[in-house]
Amino acid sequence: MGLLSLITGRPGASGFGSASTAEQVTDGVDASNLTVVITGGPSGIGLETSRVFALRGAHVIIAARNTEAASEAKKSITEANQTARVDVLKLDLSSLKSVRAFAEQFNSMNLPLNILINNAGVMFCPFQLSEDGVEMQFATNHLGHFLLTNLLLDNMKATAESTGIEGRIVNLSSIAHEHTYPKVIQFDQLNDKKTYGFLVVLWNCRRS
């Protein structure tokens, strides 16, 4: 999809474009046999994704740092759709300890996992280090999701094998990934406050 199509919403080969809604894209889809984990589900794209998956019958797990906001999102979804299946689990992607705790809790629930949507992210935040000593944006947007995906992968594989339904992992990104340093990720300068700025923000948006 070109920039003009992106701006105008002109449909692409699939028949959908940037102006298409989630309800339009999923019209006629029965997701009642699917379990979906969505990071950053309390607001924005994550909230709409949670709402529409629940509308189509999926069991939605909202993984969020702010569980109060996530509970409000669950309330709004279930009030509009009384048959919705939505659960909230604590997940702070900037903390590897929290990621491991989330994965352990989810796996202990003995739920299948068909779809993992890595949606949550931070941007333009002041320079700071995570509790693991990593620049916050890189820790949250990349390391947290990388570890989460790996810790849930066996569950997803087992689900696909037992149900015959191929799993899906969706990583949300930004067009900003096209504007990075010539040498791409500079791993030796991840925590260099002197070089932290707008270009670094763009670099952090690069696709994992």
- Tens digit of each residue's pLDDT (9 = 90 or more) over 141-183: 889 999 999 999 999 999 999 999 999 999 988 776 666 666 7
pLDDT at residue 104 is higher than 60: yes
Long-range CB contact pairs, 186-189, < 8 A, 24+? none
The sheet with strand 85-90 has its strands ordered as: 85-90, 59-64, 35-39, 115-118, 168-171
pLDDT in tens, 1-27: 566 666 677 778 888 888 889 999 999
- Annotated catalytic residue: which of 196, 200, 204, 205? 196
pLDDT in tens, 39-62: 999 999 999 999 999 999 999 999
Residue 24 has a CB neighbour count (10 Å cut-off) of 11
Q: Using pLDDT thresholds of 50, 70 and 90, give the confidence band for residue 109.
A: very high
Mean pLDDT over the full length of the chain: 87
What pTM value is reported for the model? 0.85
Q: Using pLDDT thresholds of 50, 70 and 90, give the confidence band for residue 82.
A: very high
Superfamily of domain 27-174: NAD(P)-binding Rossmann-like Domain (3.40.50.720)
State the sign of the Cα–Cα–Cα–Cα dihedral 122, 155, 112, 28: positive
Give the residue among 170, 156, 62 at the shortest CA–CA distance from 114.
156
Which residues contact residue 177 at a Cβ distance below 8 angstroms, ignoring those fewer than 6 apart? 202, 205, 206, 207
**Residue 177: predicted pLDDT:** 65
181 is catalytic: no
**Residue 113: predicted pLDDT:** 98
